[in-house]
């Protein structure tokens, strides 16, 4: 196991850049929403909801971790038994983030997958957010952790399979390239989110601390960039 690493100067700056990146992509999606044709507007509502709410959630967590608590490992060290405003801010992060993710998946399954997935990813997203919050009231009980891990696999990696499916089914080159960019961006985003979660500490603690702490925000920024390019290619003529 590697020694713990914590950079109180550059880490919060990188995470603030994540919030800025999501703010920019939110404004871009709003701009596209105003200009695109009517049939594409419902899907862009999902993109806007996700990007705006995740911006808020990420900013809340950056404030909580680096400016309110000032400790990267407080959740792990307390075995998920934080309290007071610290707990409220952490729960807000989950609630706001997973609300945005659930809305995006709902519209993705409705508009892009034409309801073929029966909203299973959306349901898993809602359950994932709920059980992630319950970790803080069960002291990270094993049964709770297992449920969270299984649900996270469903909401994080099943969409990658669907994105690859959309690559193969896309007729036009621009859409095919768009879904390729989206797949790469989504993988970066998921890795950045997963590596930053305290639930993943038992895995990431074996990786170099510097790599983990700098990779997570950079991966999320790269994810935003690739997703922005991807959706701009798919909807460039609308």
Give yes or no for a contact between 47 and 80, defined as CB atoms under 8 angstroms apart.
no
**Tokens 């993705």, located at residue:** 108
**Tokens 């649900």, located at residue:** 151
CB burial of residue 229 (10 Å; 0-12, 13-18, 19+): middle
Percent of the chain clearing pLDDT 90 (strictly above): 87
Instruction: Report the pLDDT value the prediction gives residue 23, as an integer from 0 to 100.
Output: 98
Instruction: Report the pLDDT value the prediction gives residue 132, as an integer from 0 to 100.
Output: 97
Q: Cα torsion for 28, 50, 220, 178, to the nearest 10°? A: -60
Instruction: Report the pLDDT value the prediction gives residue 2, as an integer from 0 to 100.
Output: 61
pLDDT, tens digit, 9 for 90 and up, residues 6-30: 888 999 999 999 999 999 999 999 9
Instruction: Report the pLDDT value the prediction gives residue 38, as an integer from 0 to 100.
Output: 87
pLDDT, tens digit, 9 for 90 and up, residues 122-145: 999 999 999 999 999 999 999 999
CA distance 121 to 77: 32
**Tokens 């073929």, located at residue:** 116
pLDDT at 1 over 60: no
pLDDT at 147 over 80: yes
How many CA atoms lie within 13 Å of 218's alpha carbon, on the beta-carbon side?
8
3-state SS class at 127: helix
Burial pattern 184-213, b for ≥16 Cβ within 10 A else e, equals bbbbbbbbbbbbbbbbbeeebeeeebeebb
Instruction: Report the pLDDT value the prediction gives residue 237, as an integer from 0 to 100.
Output: 67
Burial pattern 128-148, b for ≥16 Cβ within 10 A else e, equals bbebbbbbbeeebeeebbebb
Instruction: Report the pLDDT value the prediction gives residue 8, as an integer from 0 to 100.
Output: 86
pLDDT, tens digit, 9 for 90 and up, residues 48-94: 999 999 999 999 999 999 999 999 999 999 999 999 999 999 999 99
Instruction: Report the pLDDT value the prediction gives residue 7, as an integer from 0 to 100.
Output: 86
- Kindly state the average pLDDT of the residues 192-217: 92
Q: Residue 157, by phi and psi: left (phi above 0), alpha (psi -120 to 50) or beta?
A: alpha
- Kindly state the average pLDDT of the residues 101-108: 97
The pTM score is 0.94
Handedness of CA 28, 34, 37, 43 (dihedral sign): positive
Percent of the chain clearing pLDDT 70 (strictly above): 98
pLDDT at 4 over 90: no
pLDDT at 203 over 70: yes
- Kindly state the average pLDDT of the residues 173-186: 97
- Kindly state the average pLDDT of the residues 203-209: 88
Q: How confident is the model at residue 183 (pLDDT cuts 50, 70, 90)?
A: very high
Q: Walk me through the domains of the chain, giving residue ranges and CATH numbers.
A: 10-234 (1.20.1070)
């Amino acid at each position: 196991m590697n020694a713990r690493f914590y950079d109180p100067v550059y880490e919060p700056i990188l995470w603030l850049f994540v919030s800025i990146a999501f703010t920019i992509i939110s404004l871009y999606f709003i701009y596209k929403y105003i200009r695109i044709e009517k049939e594409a507007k419902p899907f862009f509502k999902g993109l806007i909801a996700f990007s705006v709410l995740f911006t808020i959630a990420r900013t809340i967590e950056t404030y909580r971790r680096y400016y309110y608590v000032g400790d990267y490992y407080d959740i792990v060290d307390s075995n998920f038994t934080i309290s007071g405003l610290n707990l409220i801010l952490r729960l807000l992060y989950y609630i706001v983030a997973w609300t945005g993710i659930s809305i995006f998946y709902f519209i993705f399954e409705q508009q892009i997958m034409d309801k073929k997935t029966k909203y299973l990813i959306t349901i898993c997203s809602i359950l994932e957010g709920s059980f992630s919050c319950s970790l803080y009231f069960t002291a990270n009980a094993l049964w709770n952790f297992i449920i969270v891990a299984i649900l996270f696999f469903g909401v994080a990696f099943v969409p990658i399979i669907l994105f690859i499916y959309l690559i193969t089914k896309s007729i036009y080159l621009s859409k095919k390239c768009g879904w390729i960019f989206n797949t790469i961006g989504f993988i970066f985003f998921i890795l950045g989110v997963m590596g930053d979660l305290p639930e993943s500490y038992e895995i990431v603690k074996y990786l170099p601390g510097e790599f983990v702490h700098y990779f997570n925000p950079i991966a999320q920024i790269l994810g935003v960039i690739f997703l922005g390019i991807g959706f701009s290619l798919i909807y460039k003529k609308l």
